[in-house]
Structures are given as structure tokens and as C-alpha cells.
Amino acid sequence: MRHAAIAVFCLVAVPILAACGFQPLYAQREDGRGVPEQLAKVRIGDITDPAASTMRGFRGYPVENDRSRQILRNYLLDDLQPRGGAARTEYVLSIDVIEPRTDVAIDRSDTTLRYGYSVVAYFSLRDAAGRDLLRSSSVSSTSFAVSQSEFATTSSQRDARDRAMQEISRDIRNQLAAYFHSAAQATR
């Protein structure tokens, strides 16, 4: 009985969604202007530290190493171009990354037990002519435990960094997808 009700609901809901103009965001189009095709045309440019003026609010926080930028680039390649890049790129994505780390939990002997780890990414999408198309940011926060073992602490920190970079990559992909979808709707 319950399965029949779900089947009837689906049979009614699908035509209603189709009639209201619903389109899947990541659907490929015959004209090559769908979101997946546009994402494949994005070249990942420089991933750097932001300008000193941007860093004002983050004074006193240690900045993590360059490995974070490599991890973010790899996640972006997987998220934007899962089938490989397009023959020619039409867009350049530039990113500035800040990675502040703060003491979250401190015991009575003034020993840090847990660090808060954040990633703030400011990014811009430019076309081949260098015109700004989109400027935005993405933020991810996590934490990691400090233990007696240096290996365990390092592993925990690397895992936190990896999770944060993956979340930043997905958020950037989603913002770019929304931009390309809106741009395609505006040209119809």
C-alpha cells in the first residue's frame, strides 16, 4: 500500500516539476552550454596568499604550508573537470587562501588540547579577455585534537586540512555552477 502511494506521488510530481521549468543544474545540453561543459572550460589559475590588506583581520594566526594549495587544486580539478578539461579554456579561476589556526581547548596547565582550523578562500572567475565575471568567497571551519603522540596530532591536522579543502572546493564548484546556470538562463 505504501509503495503504491509513493509511486502515485512520483507520477504526479514529475510532470508538475517539468511543467514549472525545473531543470537539473548539472544536466548536459546539446548546444554545449550546460553547467558541466562550462565548468570543464575553467582553468585553475594561481592559488596564493591574499594581499596584506586582506590579512589584517587574521593577524597573529599561523599560516599553513603550501601543501594546502596543492590539495585544493587537486580537489578543484576533480570537482570541475571529472572527465578532464575542455580542449580550450575560456575562464580562469584565481584563489587567495587564508588558513588561520586557533587554540580552541586549553587545559589548566596552559596546554592546547584542540585547535580550530579554518580556511577562507577568496576567488575570482575571469573570462579569456581578463574581465571579472564573478568574485566571491568560501569559508570552512573544523578542528583537530592534540595528543601525546606527534604522529597522531600531525595525522589529525592533515585530516582536518583535507576535509576543509574538500568543502571549500565543493562550495566553489557550486557557486560557479550557479553562476553558469544563471548566465545560461539570461541568454535564453
User: Rounded to 10 degrees, what is the CA torsion of 96, 142, 66, 123?
Assistant: -20
Cα separations in angstroms, 21 against 24, 32, 119, 188: 10, 19, 37, 13
Q: Which residue has the higher pLDDT, 112 or 62?
A: 112
Residue 139 has what pLDDT? Answer: 94
Q: Which residue has the cell 521549468?
A: 21
Residue 54 has what pLDDT? Answer: 56
Mean pLDDT, the chain, integer = 79
Residue 11 has what pLDDT? Answer: 67
pLDDT over 70 percentage in the chain: 67
Residue 36 has what pLDDT? Answer: 85
What is the DSSP code (8-state) at residue 24?
A: -
pTM: 0.76
pLDDT digits (tens, 9 = 90+) for 116-149: 888 899 999 999 888 999 999 999 988 888 888 8
**Residue 172 pLDDT level (bands cut at 50, 70, 90):** very high
Q: Which residue has the higher pLDDT, 83 or 77?
A: 77
pLDDT digits (tens, 9 = 90+) for 89-120: 899 999 999 887 776 666 677 666 778 888 89
What is the DSSP code (8-state) at residue 3?
A: H
User: Rounded to 10 degrees, what is the CA torsion of 57, 79, 187, 135?
Assistant: 10
